[in-house]
Amino acid sequence: MMFAKVVCVQLISLLGYDLLFQDVDVVWYKDPIPFFHNATSPIRPFDLYFQDDGAHSLRYAPFSANSGFYYARNNDRTRYLFTSLLYAQDIIRRTESHQQALIALLNEHSSLFGLKVKVLNRDENDFPGGWHFHHSGMSPLMRNLVKGDIKPYIFHMSWTNNKVNKIKFFQQMGDWFVEETCIGKSFSEIGESSNLSNTCCMVEPLVKCHYRDKPSKIPCRDAMPIDEGRRSWWN
């Protein structure tokens, strides 16, 4: 899987296109492309833009970039970066982290070749993710999002161990639009003659409580906590 994340980006880069890469656990609230194409933006001159991972630790220093959502302008610097990442499979295998290897190369290429890297500040409202979801006590963003006071471009359910919980958290947030009968099913199991959009896609989100101690669109006070002893997020 980590190798696939490298190859797909490198091939598009060599074809000469700007690109937006995202993991499958990202939902869009509005189109982020105009943000990166804004010619009058003070951050327009950068080569790469990354969501802030939130983990400002030594492992991801100095950028703390999240490799699950980023935009790259096509130029010599970014093409060389992605080609270098393709050749850095030993680092990915050794660290067991596509993100850690990419950040190491960002550091190297910004220093040696003038690569311009912008990490979008986690304290702003535009590109939130799992750090905000799982550390909501450290930031008002999730409460403002649930109340509708802000409308980010995207939300990335990072910092979550498995896809089962990712789905549950998206359901709590009102960001899940897939019928439960289609979850975990192959195309043949759903029915090859079916129109997938009609069979599996919902017009209105499935909002469902799972854990009282995680952010939710509706109060989930009566649900069990995912972390033992934790009180309701709505208290």
Report pLDDT digits (tens) over 159-177.
Answer: 999 999 999 999 999 999 9
First to last CA, the chain: 39
Do 220 and 234 touch, CB atoms closer than 8 A? yes
Do 203 and 210 touch, CB atoms closer than 8 A? no
Structure confidence at residue 193 (pLDDT):
67
Structure confidence at residue 141 (pLDDT):
95
Who wins on pLDDT, 54 or 137?
Answer: 54
- pTM for this one? 0.94
Residue in 21, 1, 23, 25 with CA at minimum distance from that of residue 11: 21
Q: ∠ at Cα 213 (208, 218), nearest 5°?
A: 35
